[in-house]
């Protein structure tokens, strides 16, 4: 596995890489990770039980280092294939394959890394980068996008459908599970409230302003509703000014960032989870792991039809999908769930069942491994 992003840094691709690596390492005859170095790397690497080769280079320049030394490493430690967590490092794998050092090059696809062009503002250079990306994509043996949306995006970039297998993200049902959160609710002063929850980095595209817009309508029908927002980010001031302007200060609580060990309690403090993301390319929701985390805790979820969210939510089964930006429909769905406890339980239970049986890292990584193995034996 070659990845620009790996713990101890936090983030979607970091979690994806670590969780797949753990399972793949147990199934492959030989397995190792190559990723950039980090000052606190040893603390995690020593616990993993498979080699993690740390290269002293900036994340987005990992390819430079790989082009210099991947072939030598592969000669010393032969493997059948490279699996790249982002296309950005695939050129080194392609070169190794073309020299006969590996059989195939596999690449994951999330979304932002696929659409982001660091030279977009410089016309000539921007076009060159796009041409380079498309040439790399054409030479990859097989892609593993995390959602149907990302799969369609790959096809729009010229990748043949036969080279694409969707393997959705997962979560850990042992880390996220239904639990009594009445203590935390008391501490937050929400003991008697019905809690609408969002846990996310606070950035504009997550659509928290759409939730704020819907609140007035929700409060008319459900006066004891309260909006709990967990996470931190650049959009907080703007959201707080909307709250002041709309007189919602008593109906919304921001907790700021909470430590990982406390996340489960915060999910369980919610009656439902909501995140109506907006599409602002290249900033697009590739999947939305938070929907699975909330489902794992037995919460029904509401998301928008943006990006990969429809692969994270089974509409009508584990939650609801509303059109992005539509605060009216969002309010209706929130009211429906807050006033129908039986519906809330049904969707929440089905969400938990889906995580336990399908949308967990063990299951999705096993699916990934079986597909890789079949392609290598073919």
The residues of the shown chain that bind ligand GDP, judged by CB under 6 A, are 12, 199-201, 230-231, 257-260, 263, 287-290, 293
Nearer to ligand GDP, 292 or 368 (CB): 292
CB of 203 to ligand GDP, least distance (A): 8
- By C-beta, is 21 or 92 nearer to ligand GDP? 21
Q: What is each CA distance from 251 to 62, 182, 212, 268, 278, in whole angstroms? A: 46, 18, 10, 19, 23
| Minimum gap (Å) between residue 112 Cβ and ligand GDP | 8
**Least distance CB 121 / ligand GDP (angstroms):** 23
CB of 270 to ligand GDP, least distance (A): 13
Q: How far is the CB of 377 from ligand GDP (least distance, A)?
A: 32
Residue 42 burial (CB count, 10 A): 12
Whose CA is closest to 70, among 93, 36, 38? 93
The residue sitting closest to ligand GDP, measured at its beta carbon, is 12
CB of 226 to ligand GDP, least distance (A): 18
The number of beta carbons lying within 10 Å of the beta carbon of residue 58 is 12
For ligand GDP, which is the closer residue by CB, 289 or 359?
A: 289
Please report how close the Cβ of residue 277 comes to ligand GDP at its closest, in angstroms: 8
Which tokens belong to 175? 């880390």
Cβ proximity of 254 and 368 under 8 Å: no
Cα separation, 291 vs 365, whole angstroms:
19
Closest to ligand GDP by CB, 82 or 264: 264
- Cβ proximity to ligand GDP: between 263 and 329 the closer is 263
Cβ 194 to ligand GDP shortest distance, Å: 22
Spatial CA neighbour of 227 closest among 204, 250, 245? 250
CA distance 341 to 189: 22
Look at the chain and count its residues.
378
What is the smallest separation between the CB atom of 340 and ligand GDP, expressed in angstroms?
26
Tell me whether residue 110 or residue 133 sits nearer to ligand GDP (CB atom).
Answer: 110
- Determine the longest span between alpha carbons in the chain, in angstroms: 68
Q: Which residue from 18, 49, 317 is spatially nearest to 171, judged by alpha carbons?
A: 18
The smaller minimum CB distance to ligand GDP, of residues 82 and 88, is found at 88
275 in Cβ contact with 288 (< 8 Å): yes
| Choice between 175 and 341, CB closer to ligand GDP | 175
Looking at the Cβ atoms of 92 and 202, the one nearer to ligand GDP is 202
Cβ atoms of 279 and 185 within 8 Å: the answer is: no
- For the bound state, the minimum distance from the C-beta of residue 126 to ligand GDP, rounded and expressed in Å, comes to 24
**3-state SS class at 104:** strand
Mark residue 307 as left, alpha or beta (left: phi above 0; alpha: psi -120 to 50; beta: remaining).
left
Report the candidate in 76, 3, 67 with the shortest Cα–Cα distance to residue 37: 3
Nearer to ligand GDP, 75 or 257 (CB): 257
Q: Helices in the chain by DSSP H: which ranges? A: 12-27, 41-45, 62-76, 90-98, 112-115, 123-139, 148-156, 182-187, 208-221, 236-245, 260-268, 289-296, 309-312, 327-339, 341-357, 361-377
């Amino acid at each position: 596995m070659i990845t620009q992003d790996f713990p101890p840094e936090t983030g979607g691709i970091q979690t994806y890489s670590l969780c797949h690596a753990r399972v793949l390492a147990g199934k492959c005859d030989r397995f190792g990770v190559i990723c950039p170095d980090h000052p606190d790397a040893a603390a995690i690497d020593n616990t993993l039980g498979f080699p993690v080769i740390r290269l002293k280079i900036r994340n987005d320049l990992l390819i430079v280092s790989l082009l210099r030394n991947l072939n030598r490493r592969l000669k010393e430690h032969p493997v059948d294939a490279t699996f790249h967590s982002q296309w950005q490092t695939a050129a080194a794998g392609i070169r190794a394959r073309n020299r006969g050092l590996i059989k195939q090059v596999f690449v994951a696809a999330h979304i932002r890394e696929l659409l982001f062009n660091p030279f977009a503002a410089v016309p000539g250079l921007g076009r060159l980068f796009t041409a380079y990306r498309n040439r790399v994509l054409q030479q990859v043996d097989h892609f593993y996008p995390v959602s149907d949306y990302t799969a369609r995006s790959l096809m729009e970039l010229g990748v043949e459908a036969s080279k694409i297998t969707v393997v959705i993200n997962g979560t850990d049902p042992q880390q996220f599970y239904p639990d009594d959160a009445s203590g935390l609710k008391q501490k937050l002063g929400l003991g008697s409230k019905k809690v609408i929850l969002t846990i996310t980095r606070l950035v504009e595209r997550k659509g928290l302003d759409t939730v704020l817009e819907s609140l007035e309508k929700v409060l008319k029908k459900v006066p004891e509703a309260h909006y709990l927002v967990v996470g931190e980010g650049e959009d907080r001031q703007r959201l707080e000014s909307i709250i002041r302007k709309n007189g919602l200060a008593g109906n919304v609580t921001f907790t700021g960032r909470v430590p990982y060990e406390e996340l489960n309690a915060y999910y369980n403090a919610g009656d439902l989870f909501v995140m109506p993301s907006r599409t602002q390319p290249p900033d697009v929701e590739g999947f939305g792991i938070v929907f699975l985390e909330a489902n794992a805790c037995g919460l029904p979820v509401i998301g928008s039809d943006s990006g990969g969210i429809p692969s994270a939510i089974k509409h009508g089964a584990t939650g609801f999908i509303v059109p992005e930006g539509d605060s009216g429909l969002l309010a209706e769905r929130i009211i429906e769930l807050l006033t129908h406890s039986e519906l809330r339980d049904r969707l929440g239970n089905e969400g938990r069942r889906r995580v336990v049986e399908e949308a967990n890292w063990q299951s999705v990584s096993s699916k990934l491994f079986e597909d890789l193995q079949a392609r290598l034996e073919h």
